[in-house]
Amino acid sequence: MGVDLMSLGAYEPRWPGVVELNLADQWRARWVDEQELPGNAPVFWAYGMVCMGDHGYATREKGAAKWGMIEGPIGEAKPEAFVKSAAMERTGATAGRVELIGFFECKATRHNTEFEQGTITVRPFYLAVARKVADLPETSNYERRRMRMAEYLVAMRARYPELEDYIGKCASRYAVLRAKGDV
């Protein structure tokens, strides 16, 4: 039994230790633990956890049942700019520091209705450290909730079970920044 040399070039190895995530059956993703996005990264969606002091700030659209983090399509904005503006719009937080924790390399599945199967996108995951937090205007489409950090992390892990490890990485980075006095 020999190796078919004609199909060898089409083989994509599955490296040991790589965890593949299933994001809403529409994306297969793997985590890239780097703090800089590649220059040509096709970013469509971004995540951001907003923290200040001993608290995290959850958000949701008015009337929604579950609290979440900042997330959504970035449009024409740069990912970091999206996180800053969404933090203000959805939580009233003025982000003083925004750090990339890592990113997901995503491949569209056959269940994806917005992208052709196999389309590659990148979803960065940010920590947004707020300098100040103001009240949301009455006309806002969002609600926010300030939670003690432990409660916030429990809520985020419950809302995003597939991202549990990366929520932990974000929380650890925030704890280190606070311990060093960098925020």
pLDDT in tens, 13-51: 445 567 788 998 999 999 999 999 988 889 999 999 999
Cα distance from N-terminal residue to C-terminal residue, the chain: 61
Residue 63 has pLDDT above 80, yes or no: yes
Mean pLDDT value of segment 137-158: 97
User: Are the CB atoms for 90 and 70 separated by under 8 Å?
Assistant: yes
What is the predicted pLDDT for the residue at 6?
A: 54
What pLDDT, on a 0 to 100 scale, did the predictor assign at position 13?
47
pLDDT tens track for 85-143: 999 999 999 999 999 999 999 999 999 999 999 999 999 999 999 999 999 999 999 99
Residues 6+ apart with CB under 8 A from 166: 31, 101, 102, 125
**What is the reported pLDDT for 24?**
87
Are 86 and 79 in contact, with CB atoms under 8 Å apart? no
Mean pLDDT computed over 141-155: 97
The reported pLDDT for the residue numbered 16 is 57
Provide DSSP, 44-68. -EEEEEEEETTEEEEEEETT-SS-B
Q: Is the CB of residue 102 less than 8 Å from the CB of residue 169?
A: yes
Is the Cβ–Cβ distance between 154 and 164 less than 8 Å?
no
Check pLDDT > 90 for residue 183. Answer: no
Q: What is the pLDDT of residue 5?
A: 46
Mean pLDDT of the chain: 91
